[in-house]
Structure 1
Amino acid sequence: MASIVKRGKAYRAQISLYKQGKHNKLSQTFLTKKEAQLWALEMELAKGGGKELAERTTTFADFFERWIYLVKVNDVKETTFQNYLRTSQVVKNLFKDIRLKDLNDIVVQKKIDEYAKTHSRKTTHEVLLKIKTSLRDAYARGYIANDFARLVKTRGETPPKRNKAISITNLKKLRNHLLQHPEDEFNLLVLLALETGMRRGELLAIRPESLYEYGIEVRHSISPTSTDTSLKTQNAKRDVSINQEVYNLINNIPPKDNGYTFGFSGFKQSELLSDLLEQLEIPKTTFHGLRDTHASFLFSQNIDIAYVSQRLGHINIQTTQNYYLELMPEKKHQQDADALNLLNSL
């Protein structure tokens, strides 16, 4: 039964809970007796309805950790699960001893804003998405009283994009250098990234049996944080054609002891790429930037978006449009001129 006690000018309402053989109490203080009575009635009704009110005294950090091990572990890929584990540490650092019953949109928003001060908007958004999913689950189970997750927003600055597509001029410059120096295996990895738009993990997962005349079967992906070699999405399973010259160069690489064509190089491809671009005096980009470069070049040559989407292994065409709305500089300038000429002809 609930009890209501006057403490000074306030009223404390308290209900008894029983869970897993242990007695516990849940209490809250209100300014008026009526508010205390309404809360107590609501809690008793919820308890009678089977809601796990005892869980509301659990810290959010503990709940989140249990949730990913009990729920998400069977719902997501191993690499995604590892991301959840990293987010769990973030939740521990941010929320510390804050309990589920003390959470609301203002509390969570303040914590997310705190995190955003030292992290990119994209990283903050990814963390918040996982937190929101857990909060919705907690609400569905009756661990929190309100479904406030939708009220929490991602804020913060968006840093300059690191994986920008390089220009057509620099694409030609880089490609010519790679073809002229095929003795360096890393050059062939970069060349293949430019020629196919494949993700870095997909490139590292190439084996001799992945090659066919003239193309590559994309069936696996290597991750530096997991032994899971499955692809990012079901649509990522695809065949990507390459020209004969590139095919011959890749086909001549002796396989490594682990059966893969390329060495993993301690997963330091980003650093090696940065050094290569600096040597050629080409603006820096990332391995994903090479994928963007491939897609942008195809768009600049008016290749059909459905083909580009399939070649990149996107879930659908909309994903391709969302990622690659920006054209290469030279193409944009040409389209600007074409648009002005059309307007002038009216």
Structure 2
Amino acid sequence: MSVYKTNTGWRVEISFKDASGKYRKKGKRGFKTKKEAEAWAAEYSVTNGNPTLKKGTLTLFSDYFDEYQQLRFGAGLKENSREAWHAVRKFVVDVYFNNTTLDQITRQKYQAFLNDYSKGMKRKSVMKRHQIMKQILMQAFHDGLIPADPTYGVIIPGAESKSADEKFLQVDEFNKLLNYIEKSDKLIKWRTSFMIYLIALSGLRAGEALALTRDDIDIDAHTISVTKTKQRSGESTTPKTKSSVRTIAMPDRFFGNYKKFVNSKSEWNDAKELFDGRRWATINNTWLERIEIELGFENIVSVHGLRHSHVSYLLSKGVDINYASKRLGHSNVTITQEIYAHLLRDKQQSEETKTLNILDEID
């Protein structure tokens, strides 16, 4: 195939075998862009006879990705899902498959990408990127642009995630963190540490906490209303699921400190957000990790780990799992049971001792 520019636009000429096996030539001129000329050549070759020229040899993976991504976005995706697609475009497509045509992505090339990308990554994170890439390449296969799905049978590498007992604080650590913040007026009045405090006592998701406004806090009723979540764009949208819209009862200890926090703020944004429009919890995670190390905690958890710690603490104290599930905003209790099947070690040891005592008492 040859593509070149003329005075009247772009011209393309191709050679191919027709259905009878004879070589033929075909040309066309007048295309406004080189890309249009190449696209016509590809389309003509795959629809005439038994061509040697395949459309997948002319289609850049990045172009096909963008086209499929727009279709997905048009079908309606929440912002966090859109961000996941944008991340794949930036950190995978642009880095590993720049200027790569569809037919050049073999299983070996794709596995090599996974092996390199997974360095220093959790397997779960690599899997999330792979699932989006797999959607694209499977669609290309079903569209007839490539002869095989290069993601079939690949191995997803990466480090294993933390075990269940490392995702949350132990009872004494949980109490120590709350006391550490409560004993300092400076920390109660600082939005970074106060958000840590709020999540520990409420079990909110970070996005739900970031979206809170003064109107969501009912001091008289001692409740927090969860009706929205903060996206990375700064927009507050409806929560993750319908069951995430909920009202959470809060302990007395929270509201005394909440008043200190509110009274210390000299300025509020138009929405009266508690955390002044902050979009993500990066600063909170950094501060929390430093304090956990300083206090000598066995497990170093993230802000999301505080959500796990909150519920695990309640379950260890005998709170019904059905109530805990509703407090978290889970769509059903099965999700809660799967996540928190592994209770705090303190609870496990207590239940084991209780069981043995009961069995020993049998006449």
Task: Specify if TM > 0.5.
Answer: yes
Deviations 1:309-341 (A, max 9, x none): 221122333322332222112112223434555
Instruction: Classify the secondary structure of the residue corresponding to 2:41.
Output: strand
1:218 matches 2:221: no
Task: Give me the whole-angstrom Cα distance separating, in 2, the residues matched to 1:345 and 1:46.
Answer: 82
User: Which residue, out of 169, 173, 177, partners 2:172?
Assistant: 169
Counterpart position of 1:60: 61
Q: Contact 1:79–1:228 at 8 Å: present in 2 too?
A: no
Deviations 1:28-47 (A, max 9, x none): xxxxxxxxxxxx9x986799
1:330 matches 2:346: yes
Closer, same or farther in 2 for the Cα pair 1:235/1:2, shift >3 Å? Answer: farther
Deviates further, 300-309 or 207-216: 300-309
Counterpart position of 2:160: 158
Counterpart position of 1:128: 130
1:202 matches 2:208: yes
Matches within 5 A, 1:1-346: 3=17, 23-24=40-41, 54-55=55-56, 57-72=58-73, 74-89=75-90, 90-147=92-149, 149-158=151-160, 160=162, 164-183=167-186, 184-185=188-189, 186=191, 187-212=193-218, 213-223=221-231, 225-230=232-237, 231-251=239-259, 253=262, 254=265, 256-258=268-270, 259-263=272-276, 264=278, 267-283=282-298, 284-341=300-357
Counterpart position of 1:7: none
Deviations 1:293-324 (A, max 9, x none): 00111221232322222211223333223322
Give the fraction of aligned pairs with identical amino acids, expressed as a percent. Answer: 22
Counterpart position of 1:50: none
Closer, same or farther in 2 for the Cα pair 1:210/1:251, shift >3 Å? Answer: farther
Instruction: Classify the secondary structure of the residue corresponding to 1:314.
Output: coil
Task: Give me the whole-angstrom Cα distance separating, in 1, the residues matched to 2:134 and 2:66.
Answer: 14
Deviation at 1:208, TM superposition (A): 1.0
Deviates further, 287-296 or 252-261: 252-261
Task: Give me the whole-angstrom Cα distance separating, in 2, the residues matched to 1:304 and 1:104.
Answer: 52
Counterpart position of 2:5: none
Deviates further, 158-167 or 204-213: 158-167
Deviations 1:138-165 (A, max 9, x none): 2343333345645334222225469721
Closer, same or farther in 2 for the Cα pair 1:232/1:182, shift >3 Å? Answer: farther
Instruction: Classify the secondary structure of the residue corresponding to 1:75.
Output: coil
Task: Give me the whole-angstrom Cα distance separating, in 2, the residues matched to 1:274 and 1:303.
Answer: 28
Closer, same or farther in 2 for the Cα pair 1:20/1:59, shift >3 Å? Answer: closer
Deviates further, 276-285 or 79-88: 276-285
Closer, same or farther in 2 for the Cα pair 1:75/1:14, shift >3 Å? Answer: farther
Deviation at 1:210, TM superposition (A): 0.5
Instruction: Classify the secondary structure of the residue corresponding to 1:76.
Output: coil
Task: Give me the whole-angstrom Cα distance separating, in 1, the residues matched to 2:327 and 2:25.
Answer: 60
Deviations 1:9-65 (A, max 9, x none): xx9x99989996654259xxxxxxxxxxxxx9x986799xxxxx6355312233223
Task: Give me the whole-angstrom Cα distance separating, in 2, the residues matched to 1:288 and 1:172.
Answer: 17
Closer, same or farther in 2 for the Cα pair 1:335/1:181, shift >3 Å? Answer: same
Task: Give me the whole-angstrom Cα distance separating, in 2, the residues matched to 1:173 and 1:311.
Answer: 23
Deviates further, 229-238 or 142-151: 142-151
Instruction: Give the TM-score of the pair, scaled to structure 1.
Output: 0.77
Structure 1: runs of 5 or more not aligned = 5-10, 27-39, 48-52
Deviations 1:87-114 (A, max 9, x none): 1121221223432234444432332122
Q: Contact 1:15–1:43 at 8 Å: present in 2 too?
A: no
